[in-house]
Chains A and B, each alone.
Chain A
Amino acid sequence: MNTRLRNAAPWLFPLALALVPLVFPDPYLLAVLTSAGIFIIGAISLNLLLGYTGQLSLGHVAFFGLGAYTSALASLGFDIGIGFGLRITLQPQPVWLGFIAAIIVAGGFGWLLGRLAFRVRGAYFVIITICFAQVLRMVALNWIELTQGPMALISIPPFSLWLPGQGVVPLYSKAQNYWLVLGVAVLAFIVVRQLVESRIGRALVALRANESLARSVGIRVTHYLIIAAVVSAGIAGAAGSLFAHYVRIVDPDVFLFIYTVTMVIMVITGGKGTLWGPVVGGLIFGLIPDLLRGRAAPEAQWVLYGVAMILFVMFLPRGIVPALASLKSRA
């Protein structure tokens, strides 16, 4: 019975979260949780790279933004000239197709960046990833024919889903979007868990723990780093797509550095290299700014945010989840 309870325990948490809209149908609360959820998906994807392979990608928002733009453009359609008198035209596509395209495009760029960047590791890798996100932001700002530049892509359709008995319906309500994000978050969590608790995951951790030893027992470094980069980028792209169809407006600011930093903070405070770390860190840093809104001036908020971060790094350098785990094992 005890082990059965323990096996069921991880499912109780998403189940409880799924009941939130029924128990507290407060639209503001749901909006806050939904946007936190989108960032948690981003943090889960970043954790695969940062936590399990130990590679610090400071351009992670690039995949999020790519997903957002891909999905938005696919669902809006576009008609652009690419020179030589050629034009590319795409009729508006269903949103689910945009969602899948977002995952594929972001994953593809993850592969490309992995191929290029994993030749250099450490500081150079960090710099390349930052540049990558900045370049994409420049493209989004200046390729006005495609992206509308700073005028932003607007009137993005909401996510639509096939629901039993209702056919394909657009998800307009807060609760529906909340459940959608929760569902994708659970899927992302499961994908990462399946991956890290496998032979591939062991190879990734081996690379992080001792790269030369890992190579000497025949683990192909680039091969596994690229698998991690592709999966991580694909999940981030999915988060970007959710964002685009939830907020329903995408501008070049989705590529801002601050979003990467937010995701990094979520992963590090929660506990990098643990499955629950990005969830815990994401809940804390996704909710704090909104809980403080109205109670503290924005300037004071940022200061609090910063102080909390420094305290975490000083006193719980490995993050909250490992700290709780060691408390539990000591007790």
Chain B
Amino acid sequence: MSDLLRVENLAVHIGGLVAIADASFVVPAGQVVSLIGPNGAGKTTAFNVITGYMRPTKGRILFDGAEITGLAPDRIAERGIVRSFQRTSVFTGCTVLENALMALHRRGSAGLLGALFRLPSARREEARLREEAWAMLEFVGLAERADTLAEVLAYGEQRRLGIALAAIAGPRLLLLDEPAAGLNPSETAACMALIRQLRDRGATILLVEHDMPMVMQISDGIVVLNQGRIIASGAPAEIRANPEVIRAYLGSGDWQEAAHAAA
């Protein structure tokens, strides 16, 4: 199986702080890989570096064999890596349908002339984008909310829209930053189902998540970061049994609870 994403000897220093000391991991195509670790372990930093929002101090990032280290976020998105955000995950002031259309940007190509003169090609594209937007809203179960302003949605729906926006952009690699944060159990279950569906549609997924039962159930592989270093990586069962991982999480009761729950 080929590795869609390779992170090689990544280091990120922010001022004097070492956010990531030395991290190497791979995300194989077609899998769901979770990046876990205690708060401050460097998970979100890793996301920011992979998607171009931060520059690494050292190391390389390879996507499908090509180096993408240090490219701008929109360039990285053009190559097929799209992320969701922890907090501000939707376009506020716009309806759900408009949100979907905005996220479909990369699937269109109409330019200035097409827009000004409503060229037939631009019109056909517009109709196609609308169809795709509706299909995606149906898929994530937000079609009946199409005309609602994004910020008016219930919290769980907003999170789902956030994931949908990242997925709709047609990424080959989808990075989800704590998609289940703040969701109740049934919403978390729906979120998991959505992630599985997205994988089945062909996306590779890299996930940062604190909800351990979810991580254990959904992941094909897990990478554990602690204090800027990778202390373990492997299948969920291996991670669960890894003494170093348990030590890193010691004191955070929810981990053990989670391990039991998932076992």
Contact = CB atoms under 8 A, between A and B. Distances in A.
SS class of chain B's interface: helix, strand, loop or mixed?
helix
A328 interface: no
Nearest to A216: B83
Contacts of A213: 85, 88-91, 165
A221 B122 CA distance: 21
Q: Report which residue of A212, A215, A218 has the largest number of chain B beta carbons within 10 angstroms of its beta carbon.
A: A218
A203 interface: yes
A216 B82 contact: yes
A195 interface: yes
B106 A216 contact: no
A-side binding surface: helix, strand, loop or mixed? helix
Given A200-B115, A202-B102, A205-B102, A215 B88 contact: no
Contact of A218 (B82, B92, B112): B82
A215 B93 CA distance: 17
B154 interface: no
B92 A217 contact: no
A218 B102 contact: no
A194 interface: yes
Contacts of A231: 112
Interface string B73-94: 1110110001111001111111
Contacts of A201: 115
B114 A198 contact: yes
Interface residues of A, number: 25
B122 to A, nearest CB: 7
Contacts of B88: 210, 212-213
Interface string B182-201: 00000000000000000000
A138 B154 CA distance: 55
Contact of B73 (A198, A205, A209, A212): A212
Nearest to B169: A217
A172 B115 CA distance: 36
B169 A199 contact: no
Contacts of B90: 210, 213
Given A199-B125, A199-B129, A212-B73, A217 B106 contact: yes
Nearest to B88: A210
A212 B85 contact: yes
Given A213-B88, A215-B73, A216-B82, A203 B102 contact: yes
Contact of B77 (A199, A216, A227): A216
B51 A216 contact: yes
Closest 7 CB pairs of A and B: A218-B77, A198-B115, A209-B91, A218-B106, A215-B73, A206-B102, A217-B169
28 contacts: A194-B115, A194-B117, A198-B126, A199-B126, A199-B129, A200-B111, A200-B112, A201-B115, A202-B101, A202-B105, A205-B91, A205-B93, A205-B102, A209-B91, A209-B92, A212-B88, A213-B85, A213-B90, A214-B102, A215-B74, A216-B51, A216-B85, A217-B105, A217-B168, A217-B169, A218-B106, A219-B74, A227-B112
Interface of B: 51, 53, 72-75, 77-78, 82-85, 88-94, 98, 101-103, 105-106, 108, 110-112, 114-118, 122, 125-126, 129, 165-166, 168-169
